[in-house]
C-alpha cells in the first residue's frame, strides 16, 4: 500500500517500515505478496510495536527522523482512498505533508508539538496489554477458552484499544469485518467516541 | 503444598518455574524468580542490574512459603495478567516505564521478522527518515 510512495521518495534518504499486526505471518502474506514491498515489511504477532508506541488501532503511522526521534506522533493515515467513504480519512493530506517533510520542503512538528499531541498509555492500557499477551500465549498453546477470557478482559480494561478488541477477533473465531465488529463500532461511536483518532490539523 | 509447573511470560518470553497455587495466590521460590525474571532477592530488596526495589517490612511479598507473584509484580510496578487455572501469568510493562521512554521523544527500537523470517531492527535505518506504519489484515 505504501510501496508507490516509497519508490517515489527512495532518492530522498527515506524508508517505509510496515508492521503487520496479524496473528501469523501467513495472515499478512497475501497483503504483502500483493503489495510486493521492497521496503522492510515486518510481522508483529505479539503486538510489540503497539505496546512500545501505545497504538490502539490500525492503521497507525509515526514519522521518525534521521536521529531516531519521533517527528510526528501516532496518527491515522491510509496509503490510498479505497475506504475513504467508510473511514472519512483522506489519504492525500497526510501523503502531501509527508512528501514535503521527506524532501526537506517543510519542517515536521517541533518537539513541544510532538509532546502535546502524542498519547501516553494509562495503567489500564498496560494492564490490558498484559492480558493480551497472556491471551495470545494461551491461544498459541491451543488453550482457546482460556485465551478468550483474557482477550475479553483486555478489551474491558481498555475499551478504546481496538488493537486488542478487534485484533483478537481472528483468534477468537469472530469475523473482524462482520456483525460483531459492526455492533462494537456502533456502540463505540454512538457513545460519542471516534474510531479513527486523527491528529488535529 | 504440592508444587506445580507455572509459566511466567516476561515481555514475550516464557519460563516455566515450580510454584504453589492456591486460588489466585501463586508462590515461587526466590531463586526461581531470579532464574525466570532476573530479579535477585538481596538484603536491600529485589535487585536487577543496578536497580533495587526495597521490600516493605510489613508486606507479605516474601514469606517462608516463598514470593507472592501478584504482590511481587506490584512491588516492581509491572502489570500482571494471571490465570491461576491455566498456571500461567504475563508480566507486562508499566505505563510509567512506557511514558518515560516516550518522553525522550526517541522512537523505541524493536526487532521483528519479515515474512521470510529475516530479522530487521528499527535502528538499522538510523540516518534515514522513516515512515512507520502499523496495519493489519483485520
Please tell me the distance in Å from B54's CA to the nearest CA on chain A: 22
Alpha-carbon Rg for chain B, nearest whole angstrom, is: 18
pLDDT at A87 over 90: no
∠ CA B131-A44-A134, nearest 5°, is 140
Contact residues, A window 110-169, toward B, CB-based 8 Å cutoff = 111, 114-115, 118, 120-123, 125-127, 129-131, 133-135, 137-138, 143, 146, 149-150, 153-154, 166-167, 169
What is the average per-residue pLDDT within B61-82? 96
pLDDT for the residue A200: 87
Going by their DSSP bridges, the two strands B40-42 and B25-28 should be labelled as unpaired
Considering only CB atoms, B120 lies closest to which of A40, A77, A127, namely A40
Grade residue B107 by pLDDT with cuts at 50, 70 and 90.
Answer: very high
pLDDT for the residue A167: 98
Please tell me the distance in Å from B45's CA to the nearest CA on chain A: 24
Q: How many CB pairs under 8 A join A and B?
A: 223
CB B80 within 8 A of CB B92: yes
Contact A17 B131 (CB under 8 A): yes
What is the average per-residue pLDDT within B7-32? 94
pLDDT for the residue A81: 85
Which of A134, A136, A138, A144 would you mutate first to test chain B, the one with the most B CBs within 10 A?
A134
CB of A170 within 8 Å of a chain B CB? The answer is yes
pLDDT for the residue A28: 96
What is the average per-residue pLDDT within A169-192? 97
Grade residue B24 by pLDDT with cuts at 50, 70 and 90.
Answer: confident
What is the average per-residue pLDDT within A57-81? 95
pLDDT at B128 over 80: yes
Beta bridge partners of B66: B63
pLDDT at A176 over 80: yes
What is the average per-residue pLDDT within A120-126? 97
State phi, psi for B112 to the nearest 5 degrees.
-140, 155
d(CA A139, CA A145): 8
pLDDT at A132 over 90: yes
How is chain A split into domains, by residue range? 3-117, 123-190
Residue closest to A2 by CA, chosen among A75, A53, A61, A54: A61
- Nine-digit cell at A10? 527512495
Topology, domain A3-117 = Glutaredoxin (3.40.30)
pLDDT at B1 over 70: no
pLDDT for the residue A80: 85
Considering only CB atoms, A43 lies closest to which of B11, B115, B122, namely B115
E strand or H helix that includes residue B82: strand B80-83
Contact B129 A102 (CB under 8 A): yes
Partners of B127 on chain A (C-beta within 8 Å) are: 13, 66
pLDDT at A126 over 70: yes
Q: Which of A55-69, A78-92, A97-111, A136-150 has the lowest mean pLDDT?
A: A78-92
- Nine-digit cell at A173? 473465531
* Interface predicted TM-score (ipTM) of this complex, two decimals: 0.97
What is the average per-residue pLDDT within A127-153? 98
pLDDT for the residue A145: 98
CB A29 within 8 A of CB B115: yes
What is the average per-residue pLDDT within A125-133? 98
* Burial of A69 per CB tally in 10 Å (0-12, 13-18, 19+): middle
Amino acid at each position: 500500500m505504501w510501496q508507490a510512495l516509497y519508490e517515489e521518495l527512495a532518492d530522498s534518504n527515506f524508508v517505509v517500515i510496515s508492521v503487520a499486526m496479524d496473528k501469523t505471518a501467513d495472515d499478512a502474506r497475501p497483503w504483502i505478496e500483493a503489495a510486493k514491498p521492497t521496503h522492510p515489511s515486518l510481522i508483529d504477532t505479539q503486538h510489540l510495536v503497539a505496546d512500545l508506541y501505545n497504538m490502539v488501532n490500525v492503521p497507525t503511522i509515526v514519522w521518525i527522523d534521521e536521529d531516531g526521534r519521533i517527528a510526528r506522533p501516532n496518527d491515522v493515515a491510509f496509503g490510498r482512498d479505497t475506504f475513504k467513504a467508510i473511514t472519512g480519512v483522506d489519504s492525500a493530506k497526510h501523503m502531501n505533508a509527508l512528501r514535503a517533510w521527506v524532501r526537506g520542503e517543510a519542517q515536521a512538528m517541533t518537539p513541544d508539538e510532538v509532546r502535546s499531541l502524542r498519547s501516553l498509555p494509562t495503567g489500564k492500557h498496560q494492564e490490558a496489554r498484559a492480558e493480551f499477551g497472556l491471551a495470545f500465549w494461551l491461544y498459541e498453546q491451543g488453550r482457546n477458552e482460556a485465551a478468550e477470557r483474557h482477550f475479553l478482559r483486555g478489551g474491558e480494561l481498555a475499551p478504546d484499544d481496538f488493537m486488542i478488541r478487534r485484533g483478537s477477533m481472528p483468534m477468537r473465531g469472530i469475523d473482524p469485518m462482520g456483525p460483531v465488529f459492526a455492533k462494537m463500532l456502533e456502540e463505540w461511536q454512538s457513545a460519542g467516541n471516534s474510531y479513527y483518532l486523527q491528529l488535529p490539523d | 503444598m504440592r508444587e506445580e509447573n507455572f509459566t511466567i511470560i516476561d515481555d514475550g518470553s516464557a519460563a516455566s518455574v515450580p510454584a504453589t497455587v492456591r486460588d489466585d495466590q501463586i508462590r515461587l521460590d526466590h531463586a526461581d524468580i531470579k532464574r525466570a525474571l532476573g530479579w535477585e532477592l538481596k538484603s536491600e530488596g529485589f535487585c536487577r542490574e543496578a536497580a533495587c526495589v526495597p521490600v516493605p517490612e510489613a508486606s507479605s511479598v516474601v514469606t517462608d512459603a516463598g514470593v507472592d507473584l501478584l504482590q511481587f509484580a506490584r512491588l516492581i510496578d509491572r502489570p500482571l495478567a494471571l490465570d491461576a487455572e491455566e498456571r500461567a501469568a504475563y508480566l507486562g510493562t508499566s505505563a510509567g516505564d512506557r511514558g518515560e521512554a516516550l518522553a525522550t521523544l526517541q522512537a523505541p527500537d524493536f526487532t521483528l521478522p519479515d515474512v521470510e523470517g529475516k530479522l530487521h531492527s528499527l535502528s538499522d535505518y538510523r540516518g534515514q527518515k522513516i515512515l512507520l506504519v502499523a496495519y493489519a489484515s483485520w
